[in-house]
């Protein structure tokens, strides 16, 4: 490995650790400041479990299936970013004070997740059309599951989610647009960038 590549990977590692630290820090804010209005009825207990666990998704999959390859820091960062966007929005009370933020979050978060997933499947040596199709399917399914999860926690007593038919439909539309944008990025801008590092065996072929 050249010195430039080593510096680049060390930089990615440090940035990834910063992202993971921010993810934990932001979700702990409501634990220390539970009386702030922006945290009321937001299912903080569920988020305390789900959001830190999100930081383990890529490491666990990598360890189980691909630990002979370099760790995919960029993909890991893209998976965790949406949870930072959400926690940061709650911590700064942006969801309650800026209508635009909720729309931005749904769009951007599914861009990020779709690029991460699309980059992961792109190493399977399948066509761009297949990668884009899988990425769009992934984005659609995950956002439907997200909305179902929000509905479930609302039924369990989380009153601060402010779910309405219009809000849910807008979220689905914006997330779908983000999914399409992310899939297009994977098969165009990032196709040769290879956000998933290749294994030593691939280098030797």
**Total domain count, the chain:** 1
**DSSP 8-state secondary structure symbol assigned to residue 195:** S
Can you give the pLDDT at residue 129?
95
Q: Is residue 203 part of a domain?
A: no
Residue in 197, 201, 205, 202 with CA at minimum distance from that of residue 62: 197
Print the domain residue range for 68: 3-198
Q: Is residue 204 part of a domain?
A: no
Measure the CA–CA gap between 177 and 136, rounded to whole angstroms: 10
Which pairs from 166-173 meet CB under 8 Å and 24+ separation?
Answer: 170/103, 170/106, 171/102, 171/106, 171/143, 171/147, 172/143, 172/144, 172/147
Asked whether residue 195 carries a pLDDT value surpassing 80, the answer given is: no
Q: Is residue 95 part of a domain?
A: yes
Can you give the pLDDT at residue 204?
42
pTM of this prediction?
Answer: 0.87
What region does 69 belong to: left with phi over 0, alpha with psi -120 to 50, or beta? beta
Asked whether residue 202 carries a pLDDT value surpassing 50, the answer given is: no
Q: Is residue 205 part of a domain?
A: no
> Is 51 within 8 Å of 27 (Cβ atoms)?
yes
Can you give the pLDDT at residue 62?
93
Measure the CA–CA gap between 4 and 12, rounded to whole angstroms: 12
Q: Is residue 160 part of a domain?
A: yes
Measure the CA–CA gap between 82 and 97, rounded to whole angstroms: 19
Q: Is residue 78 part of a domain?
A: yes
What would the mean pLDDT of 63-88 be, rounded to a whole number? 93
Asked whether residue 180 carries a pLDDT value surpassing 50, the answer given is: yes
Can you give the pLDDT at residue 156?
74
Q: Is residue 145 part of a domain?
A: yes
Asked whether residue 89 carries a pLDDT value surpassing 90, the answer given is: yes
Determine which of 53-57, 107-111, 195-199 has the lowest per-residue pLDDT on average: 195-199
Can you give the pLDDT at residue 45?
86
Q: Is residue 86 part of a domain?
A: yes
**DSSP 8-state secondary structure symbol assigned to residue 35:** T
Measure the CA–CA gap between 44 and 51, rounded to whole angstroms: 10
């Amino acid at each position: 490995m050249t010195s430039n590549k080593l510096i680049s990977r060390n930089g990615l590692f440090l940035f990834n650790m910063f992202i993971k630290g921010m993810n934990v820090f932001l979700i702990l804010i409501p634990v220390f400041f539970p009386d702030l209005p922006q945290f009321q009825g937001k299912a903080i207990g569920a988020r305390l479990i789900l959001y830190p666990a999100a930081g383990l998704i890529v490491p666990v999959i990598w360890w189980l299936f691909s630990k002979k390859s370099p760790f995919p820091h960029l993909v890991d960062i893209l998976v965790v970013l949406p949870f930072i966007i959400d926690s940061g929005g709650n911590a700064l009370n942006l969801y309650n004070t800026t209508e635009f933020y909720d729309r931005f979050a749904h769009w951007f978060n599914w861009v990020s997740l779709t690029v991460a997933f699309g980059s992961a499947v792109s190493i399977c040596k399948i066509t761009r059309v297949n990668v884009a199709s899988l990425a769009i399917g992934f984005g659609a399914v995950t956002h439907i599951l997200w909305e179902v999860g929000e509905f479930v926690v609302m039924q369990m007593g989380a009153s601060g989610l402010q779910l309405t038919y219009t809000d849910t439909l807008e979220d689905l539309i914006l997330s779908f647009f983000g999914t399409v944008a992310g899939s297009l990025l994977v098969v165009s801008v990032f196709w040769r960038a290879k956000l998933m590092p290749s294994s030593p065996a691939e280098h030797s072929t």
